[in-house]
């Protein structure tokens, strides 16, 4: 009897913040039924207690976006990756890269892990490295939002902000990071310096194939009709895509692409560049977009996973900055969902995919990071006005008129 009461108290206490698996026990207690030992074991097995910050990475919630689902008469879900401890989808990638490098001996504890990144991966890598006893160096373009470099430095990692130039230039942040790892390896031997190389390193793809994709399927399962997301490295779309297709081959995969990126053309027309979009031809920034972390004008090893498997991609959606900005304001006001720029591109695309498939379909995408990472650019109306981006009126919860009519889904010809 005493044991039963104790068990009920434990289950009631946990019922205030139920996790998957102990919900049924909590529900029983709320209904006044007695929880069984099996329920308690189940609740313990699903415990929310974590050994350290690393074990809090992943298993993020999948959430229905009510406004967009209602307006498209589909179910639109986001996988809330901004709830990872480092604040973005890149936590799982950083963890897998460092784990794999330590396991192979390419990196040792006390060694230096370097990365060139427009932001999120740097934050995640700094967090993961510090938790694993590895030093961290991050090179990033100096036009990336300042809060990202400040965060990387907060974890004690070294940051170098460089001019945004073409990848062909030795001063590109990726090349700066690679050289820093080479220097450390030359000085300290194998394991002393390791370039994370998220663009080409397939540990990135594996993190999503074994993690994000499996989690999405376990939450949504056979109901899922389509998955769409934008690509920086391509790791998310490739990894999630492969995991979903293995489990349900009829799931349709779509690329979302911001303005200035060449991937949309590569997927929908079979050619990488428009004349204006060829990386290296621009004088200033290769991507004339306010979005961060997505869009690219070269084929990475991670994106190649998709191209190497015929029939993986069903199509692509092009998204303008104005649409992304408006979408972020719309879901903040109508759903209480405060997202960053790549997540907004993803949601615009999810709507377009929903509209092209028609009512009754189920579409999932990624909320990569929170709007908090973007307060000084994407979420700063004064900054946006300076680059001629004025917010659409998104006050009406009954209209998606802020989306351009020509944001179409184009079939894949990759
Ligand atoms: C905020 C953010 N969203 C999305 C992405 C794109 O994800 P992936 O690199 O898996 O294509 C990135 C990549 O750096 C990112 O930083």
- CATH no. for residue 260? 3.40.50.1100
Q: Are 318 and 260 in the same domain?
A: yes
Question: What is the average per-residue pLDDT within 215-226?
Answer: 97
CA 262/CA 147 separation, integer angstroms:
27
Residue with more model confidence, 289 or 129: 129
Q: Are 303 and 391 in contact (CB under 8 A)?
A: no
Q: Are 233 and 175 in the same domain?
A: no
Residue with more model confidence, 405 or 49: 49
**49 domain residue, yes or no:** no
Question: What is the average per-residue pLDDT within 143-158?
Answer: 89
Residue after which a domain boundary falls, among 169, 195, 221? 195
**57 domain residue, yes or no:** no
Ligand 1 lined by 213 (C-beta under 6 Å)? no
Token pair recorded at residue 245: 């297709």
Ligand 1 mean position, distance from CA 80 (Å) = 14
Average pLDDT over the chain reads 88
Domain that holds residue 8: 2-41
**6 domain residue, yes or no:** yes
- Buried/exposed 50-80: b ≥16 CB within 10 Å, e otherwise: eeebbeebbbbeebebebbbebbebbbbbbb
CA 350/CA 96 separation, integer angstroms:
28
Ligand 1 lined by 291 (C-beta under 6 Å)? no
Q: Are 78 and 113 in the same domain?
A: no
CA 245/CA 252 separation, integer angstroms:
8
**121 domain residue, yes or no:** yes
Best mutation site among 79, 94, 96, 120 for ligand 1 pocket (most ligand atoms within 8 Å of CB)? 120
**Percentage of the chain with pLDDT > 70?**
85
pLDDT of residue 118: 75
Compute, in degrees rounded to 10, the torsion defined by CA atoms 168, 170, 172, 175: 100
Q: Are 169 and 110 in the same domain?
A: yes
Q: Are 119 and 173 in the same domain?
A: yes
User: Which residues, other chains included, contact 269 with Cβ-Cβ below 8 Å and sequence gap of 6+?
Assistant: 410, 413
> Can you tell me which atom of ligand 1 is nearest the CA of 119?
16
pLDDT of residue 119: 75
By three-state DSSP, how is residue 110 classified?
strand
**To which H or E segment does residue 404 belong?**
none
Residue after which a domain boundary falls, among 195, 219, 254? 195
pLDDT of residue 7: 38
Q: Are 115 and 152 in the same domain?
A: yes
> What digits encode the pLDDT tens for the residues 56-111?
999 999 999 999 999 999 999 999 999 999 999 999 999 999 999 999 999 999 99
pLDDT of residue 34: 60
> What digits encode the pLDDT tens for the residues 315-371?
999 999 999 999 999 999 999 999 999 999 999 999 999 999 999 999 999 999 999
Domain count across the chain? 3
**54 domain residue, yes or no:** no
Q: Are 69 and 76 in contact (CB under 8 A)?
A: yes
Strand pairing partners for 366? 79
Token pair recorded at residue 97: 């890269």
Token pair recorded at residue 284: 């200033």
Ligand 1 mean position, distance from CA 366 (Å) = 10
**47 domain residue, yes or no:** no
**48 domain residue, yes or no:** no
pLDDT of residue 166: 86
Residue with more model confidence, 4 or 396: 396
By three-state DSSP, how is residue 339 classified?
strand
**Percentage of the chain with pLDDT > 90?**
72
By three-state DSSP, how is residue 313 classified?
strand
Q: Are 337 and 217 in the same domain?
A: yes
CA 81/CA 55 separation, integer angstroms:
15
DSSP state of 320: -
Q: Are 338 and 221 in contact (CB under 8 A)?
A: no
pLDDT higher than threshold 70 for residue 259: yes
Angle formed by the axes of helices 2-15 and 23-30, nearest 10°? 110
> What digits encode the pLDDT tens for the residues 17-41?
333 444 555 555 445 566 666 666 6
Ligand 1 lined by 342 (C-beta under 6 Å)? yes
Q: Are 151 and 174 in the same domain?
A: yes
pLDDT of residue 21: 40
Q: Are 77 and 117 in the same domain?
A: no
pLDDT of residue 28: 53
**391 domain residue, yes or no:** yes
Q: Are 98 and 125 in the same domain?
A: yes
pLDDT of residue 146: 82
pLDDT higher than threshold 60 for residue 280: no
CA 294/CA 291 separation, integer angstroms:
7
Q: What is the pTM of this model?
A: 0.87
DSSP state of 258: E
pLDDT of residue 200: 96
């Amino acid at each position: 009897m005493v044991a039963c009461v104790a068990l009920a108290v434990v289950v009631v206490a946990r019922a205030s913040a139920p996790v998957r698996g102990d919900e049924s026990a909590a529900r029983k207690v709320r209904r006044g039924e007695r929880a069984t030992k099996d329920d308690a074991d189940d609740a313990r097995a699903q415990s929310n207690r974590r050994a350290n910050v690393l074990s809090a990475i992943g298993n993020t919630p999948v959430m229905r976006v009510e406004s967009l689902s209602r307006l498209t008469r589909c179910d639109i879900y986001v996988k809330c990756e901004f709830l990872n401890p480092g604040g973005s989808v890149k936590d799982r990638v950083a963890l897998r890269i460092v784990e794999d490098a330590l396991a192979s001996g390419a990196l040792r504890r006390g060694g230096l892990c370097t990365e060139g990144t427009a932001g999120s991966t740097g934050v995640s890598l700094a967090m993961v490295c510090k938790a694993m006893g590895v030093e961290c160096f991050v090179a990033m373009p100096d036009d990336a939002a300042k809060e990202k470099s400040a965060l990387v430095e907060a974890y004690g990692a070294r940051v170098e902000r460089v001019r945004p130039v073409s990848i062909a230039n030795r001063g590109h942040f990726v090349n700066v990071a690679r050289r820093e790892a080479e220097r450390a390896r030359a000085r300290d031997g194998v394991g002393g310096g390791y370039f994370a190389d998220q663009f080409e390193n397939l540990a990135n793809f594996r993190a999503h194939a074994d993690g994000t994709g499996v989690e999405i399927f376990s939450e949504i399962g056979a109901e899922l009709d389509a998955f769409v997301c934008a690509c920086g490295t391509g790791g998310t779309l490739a990894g999630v895509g492969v995991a979903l297709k293995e489990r349900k081959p009829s799931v349709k995969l779509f690329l979302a692409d911001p303005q200035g990126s060449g991937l949309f053309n590569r997927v929908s027309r079979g050619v990488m560049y428009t004349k204006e979009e060829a990386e290296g031809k621009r004088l200033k920034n290769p991507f004339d977009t306010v979005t961060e972390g997505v869009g690219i004008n070269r084929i990475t090893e991670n994106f190649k996973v998709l191209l190497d498997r015929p029939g993986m991609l069903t199509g692509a959606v092009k998204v303008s900055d104005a649409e992304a900005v408006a979408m972020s304001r719309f879901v903040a006001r109508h759903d209480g969902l405060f997202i960053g720029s790549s997540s907004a591109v993803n949601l615009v695309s999810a709507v377009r995919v929903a509209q092209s498939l028609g009512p009754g379909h189920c579409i999932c995408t990624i909320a990569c990071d929170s709007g908090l990472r973007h307060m000084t650019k994407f979420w700063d109306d004064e900054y946006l006005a300076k680059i001629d981006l004025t917010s659409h009126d998104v006050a009406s919860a009954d209209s998606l008129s802020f989306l351009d009519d020509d944001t179409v889904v184009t079939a894949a010809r990759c």
